[in-house]
Amino acid sequence: MIVVVRHGETEPNRAGVLLGHADPALTTTGREQAEAVAKALDAPTAPVAVVSSPLRRAVETAEAIASAWKMDVEREERLIEIDYGEWDERAFGDVPAEELRRWRADPAYAPPGGESLTALQARVSPCAADLLERAGDNGVVIAVSHVSPIKAAVAWALAVGPEIAWRLRLDIASITRIARGPDGGPIVRSFNERAAP
C-alpha cells in the first residue's frame, strides 16, 4: 500500500496563493499537523520506506513521520508539486480569468513557464506504480507530496484523466491510501483522511 500524505501548512497555504516550486518551510501549525499525521500513522511495523518530494515543506513533514521508526527520508523528484511557472505564489484572483478557464478546460494547457496536468500525470503515474510495487503485497510505503501530485496518483489508481483534479478536494496534512486490488491493479482505499486539526 502507498500511504500518501499532503504536507503541513506553510505561509503561502495560509494566504491562499498558488504554491508550486517555491520552497517555504512549514509554519508552527504545519509542524503540529506533521506531528499529528505522524501519530496517526505510527505502527509497530516500520514502513518499507518513507519518501518525499524534495521541497522543504514535504521533507519536514516526512521527517516528522519517519522519526517514529528512526528512518531516513528518501527524496523522490517525481513527487514534487506541479510547476505553476509565472503563477507561483500568486493569488487565483491575480491570474487572468481567461487563462484560468483555459487551464480548467484543457489538461494539456500549462501556465506560462509551468507544467500542465497532462505532464504532471505523465511523471506521477509511473512513480505511483513504482511505489506500489516497492510496497509489495503486505508492505507500506509512505509518500509525502503535494495537492496536485496526490490527485494525479488518485487519477492513476482510478484509471481516469487528470481533469478529475478539479473535482477533488484535498486538505493540508491529509492522508490518502492506494492499495493493490484483487486483480493486482491499484485501488483507492481512502481519500483525504484528516489526521490533524
Active site residue 146: no
DSSP H or E run through 6:
strand 2-6
What whole-number distance in Å separates Cα of residue 74 and Cα of residue 134?
A: 13
DSSP 26-40: B-HHHHHHHHHHHHH
Q: Out of 7, 9, 35, 60, which one is annotated catalytic?
A: 7
Active site residue 7: yes
Q: Out of 35, 76, 81, 115, which one is annotated catalytic?
A: 81
Beta bridge partners of 5: 144, 175
What whole-number distance in Å separates Cα of residue 197 and Cα of residue 43?
A: 20
Catalytic residues: 7, 81
